[in-house]
Amino acid sequence: MFSHVLQSEFELTLNPARIVFAEGAITRTQEMVEALGCKRALVLSTPGQIDQAQALVASVGASAIGSYSNATMHTPVDVTTDALENFERLEADCTIAIGGGSTTGLGKAMSHRTGRPQIVIPTTYAGSEVTPILGQTENNMKTTIRDADLQPDIVIYDPELSYGLSESMTITSGLNAVAHAVEALYAKDRNPVSSLMALEGARAIFEALPDIKSKPDSTLGRRKALYGAWLCGSVLGLVGMALHHKLCHTLGGMFDLPHAQTHAVVLPHALAFNEVAVPDSLSPIATLLNSQTAGAGLFEFTQSVGAPLALKDLGMPQSGIASAAQSAVQNSYWNPRDFNQEQIERIIDNAYHGRSPEALA
């Protein structure tokens, strides 16, 4: 199935992290702090997960010295500065981020500045916990850095923690994970291992989301979704992303759109466009979705699980379509298919209105 991947040479450096995956694994957090040689962990969360953060501080006991619960989407630098003041004042020696990509981002930003180790306990499917990538915002500008030191040291995957994730966030966050996987399948620097992980990750999420939608407390569904998130996040950390991620970063940054939802809307459109250039890479996705093409199959899948379909429903202004297209073609990422501004405008216009995706001439 992956013979096309073997048509070229490849290089692979796996990102080292200790992965602990089990129901109830959060109860091993103190053991993980000790495994890092640390004694004074600062627990991080968003304001919405302050209760979880405080419960974690209590359960970790003497190895946790408090919590900081102002993590914010897109890792604003002023929040990182504030968190670091708390870290230093409390004489902390490591962080434990409990939450989604926003909280993980804060943990990475702090570790990058302090050189201290970090544990992440993910509660969404964004995948940031297994990447050496950090996006930060300052003066309304988002910049991304990639550095091996950003990779968290220990990741505790406890499916029980995602039971409380709302259905809508579960669906869109799962599709955010799928976005990493499908772009990894056609990445310029893909390799047989990244393609295996990407396809297995996508398969797990495709199975999990309908299961969780029909049975929100499905233990197997939650376990599969988190397993898929781990694999999809891992490939995001291994290979380069393309047009889809560029479009989401542009749209999210320009119009402050919600991260996971933007990925869910844009993905079928970016995929339908790229599929023309890389049909072999994406045919396993079409097969998994029981569809002729990956783009059409994914659009049907997003509809069937009730994901948002239109950028206009996420708060994007129609007047922004042309300027977003203009911005997206600047400093663009490598992509398997060449594109021009007119095509990108058409893709965004389709995504804005929630139309079916087109391959485009």
Phi, psi of 357 (to 5 degrees): -70, 150
46 binds ligand NAD (CB under 6 A): yes
Tokens of 141: 């500008």
Per CB under 6 A, contacts with ligand NAD among 48-107 are 48-49, 73-74, 99-103, 105
How many whole angstroms separate alpha carbon 96 and alpha carbon 42? 6
173 binds ligand NAD (CB under 6 A): yes
Per CB under 6 A, contacts with ligand NAD among 232-251 are 236
In angstroms, give the least distance from the CB of 7 to ligand NAD.
Answer: 28
Tell me which H or E stretch contains 145: strand 141-146
User: Is 156 in contact with 191 (CB distance < 8 Å)?
Assistant: no
Residue (100 or 357) nearer to ligand NAD, CB = 100
Residue (98 or 199) nearer to ligand NAD, CB = 98
346 to 213, 245, 264, 331, 340: CA distances (angstroms)? 32, 17, 18, 19, 10
In angstroms, give the least distance from the CB of 261 to ligand NAD.
Answer: 9
Phi, psi of 133 (to 5 degrees): -120, 140
Contact pick of 70, 131, 136, 194 for ligand NAD (by CB under 6 A): 131
Residue (176 or 293) nearer to ligand NAD, CB = 176
Tell me which H or E stretch contains 42: strand 41-44
Find the part of the chain contacting ligand NAD (CB under 6 A) among 88-96, 129-137, 200-208, 334-342: 129-137
- The 3 state secondary structure assigned to 153-180 is CEEEECHHHHCCCCHHHHHHHHHHHHHH
Residue (108 or 346) nearer to ligand NAD, CB = 108
Binding map of ligand NAD across residues 248-267, x = CB under 6 A, - = no contact: -----------xx-------
Contact pick of 123, 250, 274, 327 for ligand NAD (by CB under 6 A): 123
How many whole angstroms separate alpha carbon 293 and alpha carbon 221? 25
Which residues here bind ligand NAD, judged by CB under 6 A? 46, 48-49, 73-74, 99-103, 105, 123-124, 126-128, 131, 133-135, 161-162, 164-165, 169, 173, 176, 236, 259-260
